[in-house]
A and B are shown apart, each in its own frame.
Chain A
Amino acid sequence: EAQVTQNPRYLITVTGKKLTVTCSQNMNHEYMSWYRQDPGLGLRQIYYSMNVEVTDKGDVPEGYKVSRKEKRNFPLILESPSPNQTSLYFCASTRPLGQGRYEQYFGPGTRLTVT
């Protein structure tokens, strides 16, 4: 079954304690993205990756890092989390549809609370 998995699904942590949210896809997709969702703001892209070792900033990259060492995995790293990073995070994998068209497959989301 084609899927995007994220772990953990829920996380409560304290300010400054480094954490990693993992994302994995089993569809051999080249493109992957991270988004955060906040009430009244919709989803905003944090980072995206075009392939292994190739990443680029989205709209709200401050305070986040990513890596893409394997095609299937795209972890999101918060090296020093702060309360303003409390949010719902979604990983997405991009499915090519041909003719330069693509569709996003979203993971189930990770709810992060930073106290």
Chain B
Amino acid sequence: AQSVTQPDIHITVSEGASLELRCNYSYGATPYLFWYVQSPGQGLQLLLKYFSGDTLVQGIKGFEAEFKRSQSSFNLRKPSVHWSDAAEYFCAVARRGGGGADGLTFGKGTHLIIQP
């Protein structure tokens, strides 16, 4: 079965610094991967998704992610963080190897703290 690991429970970054959030997946074939953000007290917002093709994916709010099959990773990056980026970030993979019709398997999340 598919699984997702987010190794970092908390990450603290200074405002204006670069960010990389790690995500590792477990799946035999090409996975369908997603990154979501949840601001405090809010719902889930899709940042970006990867299905196939170009391994560098651009998303909203200046985020990007790179799919690396050799490392089973789909890390999220942003060149310069803003205080408003403080939130919980979730990596997810389509369940059962499908396109995501029957839902997603989520990682446990990374809590991002922005230092002034």
A: which residues have CB within 8 A of B?
31, 33, 35, 40-45, 48, 50, 56, 58-59, 90, 92, 94, 96-97, 99-104, 106-109
- Given A42-B90, A56-B102, A102-B94, 5 new contacts (CB under 8 A): A42-B109, A43-B44, A94-B100, A104-B34, A106-B44
In contact, B43 and A104 (Cβ under 8 angstroms) = no
CA distance A39 to B9 in the complex (A): 11
10 pairs of A and B residues whose beta carbons are closest in the complex: A102-B100, A33-B103, A42-B106, A100-B99, A42-B108, A43-B106, A101-B99, A106-B44, A102-B101, A102-B99
Please list 7 pairs of residues, one from A and one from B, whose beta carbons are closer than 8 Å in the complex, sorted by A's number: A31-B101, A43-B90, A44-B106, A48-B102, A50-B101, A102-B100, A106-B44
CA distance A45 to B92 in the complex (A): 12
Kindly identify, within residues 72 to 110 of chain B, every residue whose CB is under 8 Å from any CB belonging to chain A.
Answer: 90, 92, 94-95, 98-109
> Which A residue's beta carbon lies closest to that of B46?
A103
Contacts of A107 in B (CB 8 A): 43
CA distance A43 to B6 in the complex (A): 13
B: which residues have CB within 8 A of A?
6, 9, 32, 34, 43-44, 46, 49, 51, 90, 92, 94-95, 98-109
A103/B100 contact (C-beta < 8 A), A40-B108, A42-B107, A44-B106 known: yes
Contacts of A92 in B (CB 8 A): 103
Smallest beta-carbon distance B89→chain A, Å:
11
Contacts of A94 in B (CB 8 A): 100-103
**Candidate in B9, B90, B99, B101 with the most chain A CB atoms within 10 angstroms:** B101
In contact, A101 and B51 (Cβ under 8 angstroms) = yes
A45/B105 contact (C-beta < 8 A), A90-B43, A94-B100, A107-B43 known: yes
CA distance A103 to B101 in the complex (A): 8
CA distance A109 to B109 in the complex (A): 17
In contact, A109 and B106 (Cβ under 8 angstroms) = no
In contact, A45 and B104 (Cβ under 8 angstroms) = yes
CA distance A59 to B103 in the complex (A): 11
In contact, B9 and A40 (Cβ under 8 angstroms) = yes
